[in-house]
Amino acid sequence: MQELDKDYASSFVKYSIVAVIILLALVLYLIYPYLLALLQLLFSNPSAILNTTLFKLLIFPGLIYVSIVALIAEWVERKLVARIQVRVGPFYVGGWEGLLQPIADLFKLITKEIIIPKHADKNIFILSPVLAFIVGALPIIVIPYSPTYVIWDYQFGLLLYFAILAFYPLVVLLAAWSSNNKYSFIGGLRALYQQASYEVPLFLAALPAVMLAGSFSLTAIASAQAKVWFILFAPLSAIVFFAGMMAELERIPFDMPEADSELVSGWTTEYSGIAWGLFQFGAYVKLLAYSGFFVTIFLGGWQGPAILPPLFWSLLKVSIVVLILLSVRGFFPRIRIDQLVRAGWGRLIPICILNIVIIALLQPYIVSILR
């Protein structure tokens, strides 16, 4: 086993700084015309930059916003669950109550070595965290935070959302299989059963919103809730969607694939360093995407009293849903895998269908209320 010497660390830092500078120069050279156009736009009309697609993709409902919220959500989760469990949570790092703990964790994960098991399939092993992050982060392009703050106002936004989320069991299966570890494969199969069983209740629970709004576009669904939110007409579907959301995100109480006391870390056991970090980060980004979706379908998106801007209301609602999702972790025990699968197929689907039938019967009256 070779020892890590100071020369290795310093040369690594030097080479990485040089590589980052070269990469930045290359990127700047490639995007120079667009950057020039963007800067001209900024100096002539400063607020128009907020409406360009690049800004929306990169900064506001896009990459940087999602990353920052994922980091904050990690800190909030650890503090909240700790207080529920009568302990303190992260405490030392950062000035006040461990605020910089997620950044310290990120730094630690980046500098850790990625250990690839000897007989693991290298290509798929390296590919699956990246794919998990992409599939988890892609649905944020259709979620509207206000009538103008949506990256792509697609006509079939809801369908695209579900099509992207149908990818995730594939990624889980690839990640679990490529670890070449019997127990992580069992964890991956459990994750597959769980996520595949709760996809159908999720699709069915989102259907009343489409029936009431008359369109698959998420901005149209959010705009149709100007007078009454859809959760009042479809409470059963909202509950089923919430439960399905928790199951798809593998949060406690649907924690079976990652049962800490049984399967070490479930299907991500063999991943270390930034590969595991990408899985966790992708889980928080998926949490944000799902919460945004829940708010858009059931809680009215950006609708609220006109005193405050619509953006504030949508951010408030998303934060409340995220907080509820994070705090549930401290309250419930874990559900067994057979109870989980039986609940997904046998109990949640009839509830969804009941709600769809009720909405279908009452639709003319509801639509006249909404108009």
CA distances from 95 to 79, 92, 98, 100, 222 (A): 15, 8, 7, 8, 40
- Would you call 112 helix, strand, or coil by DSSP? coil
Q: Which residue has the tokens 């092993």?
A: 125
Residue 266, Cβ density class (10 Å: 0-12 exposed, 13-18 middle, ≥19 buried):
buried
Q: Given the complex with other proteins, which of 127 and 311 has the nearer CB atom?
A: 127
CB of 122 to other proteins, least distance (A): 12
Q: Given the complex with other proteins, which of 149 and 168 has the nearer CB atom?
A: 168
CB of 362 to other proteins, least distance (A): 19
- Token pair recorded at residue 249: 């995100």
CB of 304 to other proteins, least distance (A): 29
Q: Given the complex with other proteins, which of 193 and 230 has the nearer CB atom?
A: 193
Q: Given the complex with other proteins, which of 97 and 153 has the nearer CB atom?
A: 153
Q: Given the complex with other proteins, which of 189 and 328 has the nearer CB atom?
A: 189
Contact set with other proteins (CB under 8 A)? 121, 124, 155-156, 159-160, 162-164, 166-167, 169-170, 173-174, 177, 185, 189, 192, 196, 199, 214-216
Q: How far is CA 165 from the centre of its chain?
A: 10
Q: Which residue has the tokens 């120079």?
A: 32
CB of 169 to other proteins, least distance (A): 5
CB of 58 to other proteins, least distance (A): 24
Q: How many helices (H) and strands (E) does the chain have?
A: 15, 0
Spatial contact of 220 and 296, defined as CB atoms under 8 Å apart:
no
Q: Given the complex with other proteins, which of 159 and 351 has the nearer CB atom?
A: 159
Q: Given the complex with other proteins, which of 142 and 231 has the nearer CB atom?
A: 142
Write the DSSP string, 233-289: T-HHHHHHHHHHHHHHTT-TTS-GGG-TTTSTTGGGTT--THHHHHHHHHHHHHHHH
Q: Which among 138, 155, 164 has a CA at the least distance from the CA of 210? A: 155
CB of 215 to other proteins, least distance (A): 8
CB of 163 to other proteins, least distance (A): 4
d(CA 370, CA 350): 27
Q: Which residue has the tokens 């059931």?
A: 298
Neighbours of 186 (CB within 10 A): 16
Taking each helix axis from N to C end, the angle separating 310-327 and 274-298, rounded to the nearest 10 degrees, works out to 120
Neighbours of 88 (CB within 10 A): 11
Q: Given the complex with other proteins, which of 51 and 155 has the nearer CB atom?
A: 155
Q: Given the complex with other proteins, which of 64 and 170 has the nearer CB atom?
A: 170
Own/partner long-range contacts of 54-59 (Cβ < 8 Å, ≥24 apart) = 56/149, 56/150, 56/151, 57/141, 57/151
CB of 363 to other proteins, least distance (A): 14
CB of 214 to other proteins, least distance (A): 7
